[in-house]
Amino acid sequence: MASLYMNVDKSTVAENVIFSGDPWRVEVLAKYLESPRKVAFNREFNTYTGTYKGTPVTVSSTGIGAPSAAIAMEEMYEAGMKTAVRLGTVMALRDDMLGKFIIPTASMRMESTSATYAPAGFPAAADFELVTCMNRTVTQMGAEYLNGIGCSMDGFYTMMHNSRLSKEMERDMAETFAGLKRLKIVGVDMESSCMLVVGRLMGVRTCVVTITTVLENLKDALKGEERTAAEDLLCRVVLEGIQNFDNGLS
């Protein structure tokens, strides 16, 4: 029986699953698969299954934020997922990171969904061997990466980027970022900590591979062809990394 939201089941999902926030980035991933098969595109969940250099892989989207990311993890786990990699873009808190990879070893839990799974003291930690494999893959492909602690938050326009309303409400984004930097947080997103917690509870080997496309409060960003190329590299790195990990090259 197909799952409630993603319309997937054990017959349509590989043990290796790559998650993208953006449903349309899944189309980029699918172009690199051998014999990709469209599984479903329902709500924010766009899913293909195929192989990459002989390794079975499912690529799917989660949409924006931790609640839908948790749904994606749950339904893929029900369908037999054993390895999960979230690939995505990240807002870096260091000015020298634009266009570079951030592969967090763990993430600070400032989103609310993971609290429905585990108490606040439970760590959102990535799988060490999977992180090591992704580090090596980034280097092999001629790019630069940074490990460190990330942070996931729920409110984009309340915590990460000024809006008309946030200005009217006199929210101080600068203080938010200053506080994170005092804790040596390297980057901010909206899904990673939840996915790491849920993956750990499931016994699914889980990590996060992101590329920096914006700096804090969008003070600088990759645009146009430069951003397109960065996201394409991100897709290729994670596919190579999954294939390396599946073949014991961690």
Question: Which tens digits make up the pLDDT trace of 70-113?
Answer: 999 999 999 999 999 999 999 999 999 999 999 999 999 999 99
Q: Which burial class, exposed, middle or buried, applies to 103 when counting CB atoms under 10 A from its CB (0-12, 13-18, 19+)?
A: buried
**Residue 250 reports pLDDT greater than 80:** no
The per-residue pLDDT of the chain, averaged, comes to 96
Residues 6+ apart with CB under 8 A from 232: 28
Q: Look up the CATH number of domain 90-233.
A: 3.40.50.1580
Give pLDDT, residue 48: 98
Say how many Å lie between the first and final Cα of the chain, rounded. 35
Distances (CA, A) of 200 to 76, 77, 118, 232: 14, 12, 10, 28
Tell me how many helices (H) and strands (E) the chain has: 7, 11
Please check whether residue 238 is in contact with residue 52, taking contact to mean a CB–CB distance below 8 angstroms: no
**pTM of the model as a whole:** 0.96
Of the chain, the percentage scoring pLDDT greater than 70 comes to 99
**Residue 1 reports pLDDT greater than 90:** no
Cα gap 36→234, rounded to integer Å = 19
- The amino acid present at 41, given as its one-letter code, is F
Per-residue confidence band for 2, with pLDDT thresholds at 50, 70 and 90: confident
Question: 3-state DSSP call for residue 165?
Answer: helix
Q: Across residues 197-226, what is the average pLDDT?
A: 97
Of the chain, the percentage scoring pLDDT greater than 90 comes to 97
Give pLDDT, residue 248: 84
Question: Which tens digits make up the pLDDT trace of 116-144?
Answer: 999 999 999 999 999 999 999 999 999 99
Per-domain boundaries in the chain: 1-81, 90-233
**Residue 249 reports pLDDT greater than 80:** no
- The amino acid present at 85, given as its one-letter code, is V
